[in-house]
Amino acid sequence: MDAAEIEQAIERIAHGIADRARAGGEADALAIVGIRRGGVHLAERLRARLGRLLGRVPPAGTLDIGFYRDDLAGGGAAPVIGPTEIAFPVEGRTIVLVDDVLFTGRTVRAALDELVDFGRPRRVWLAVLVDRGGRELPVAADFAGLTLDVPAGSDVEVRLREGGAAADEVIVTPRRST
């Protein structure tokens, strides 16, 4: 995906969220939560578009799932933990959980575990820019900008200007051996 295709995908996702929120009477209860690192910038872009579409900017937060991952016991490198920031009540809200790429489902599982530590949302919708397949857990995106069938030996990388990239792009590359 190039920058224009990414913008179109984010716009489609925002319209889908706004339509579903309006239809379910949930527009006023909507909040956006980006998963660090990849979902934070996308969450901010979605939030701005939803503000335009709904006439109010939903509250936003970020989750850092480092302590909630299920692969820490594997003896790998210690995770770099950033802040989790949710400055609004989660209880009873419709939370749009945002990430850049949906792969195994383990990141989403960890994010849900952390999110409920802040309260019990009414519902959680998952929005991702790219659904690359390859699930290990029964997780599905409610809103996806692009669905790909990516071989197991490849990585999907979302590069955004806000993260320091020269231009927005989504690329698929062979996995680097470590």
Q: How many structural domains comprise the chain?
A: 1
Range of the domain at 93: 3-70+81-152
Q: Average the pLDDT over 6-13 and give the result.
A: 98
User: For the chain, give me the number of helices (H) and strands (E)?
Assistant: 3, 7
Indicate the pLDDT class of residue 152, thresholds 50, 70 and 90: confident
pLDDT (0 to 100) of residue 67: 84
In a domain, 126, yes or no: yes
Which of the four pLDDT bands, split at 50, 70 and 90, describes residue 178? Answer: low
pTM for this model (two decimals): 0.93
Rounded Cα distance between 27 and 106, Å, is 28
Q: Which residues contact 27 (CB under 8 A, 6 or more apart)?
A: 18, 21, 54, 56
- Checking if the pLDDT of 109 tops 60, the result is yes
Q: For residues 80 and 66, is the Cβ–Cβ distance under 8 A?
A: yes
Residue % of the chain over a pLDDT of 70: 93
* Position 26 in a domain: yes
Name the 3-class secondary structure at 3.
helix
CATH number of the domain that 27 lies in?
3.40.50.2020
Give the strand pairing for 94-102 and 30-35: parallel
Would 87 be classed as within a structural domain?
yes
> Residue 63 pairs with which residues in a beta bridge?
35
Task: Count other C-beta atoms under 10 Å from residue 141's C-beta.
Answer: 20
| Structural domain includes residue 139 | yes
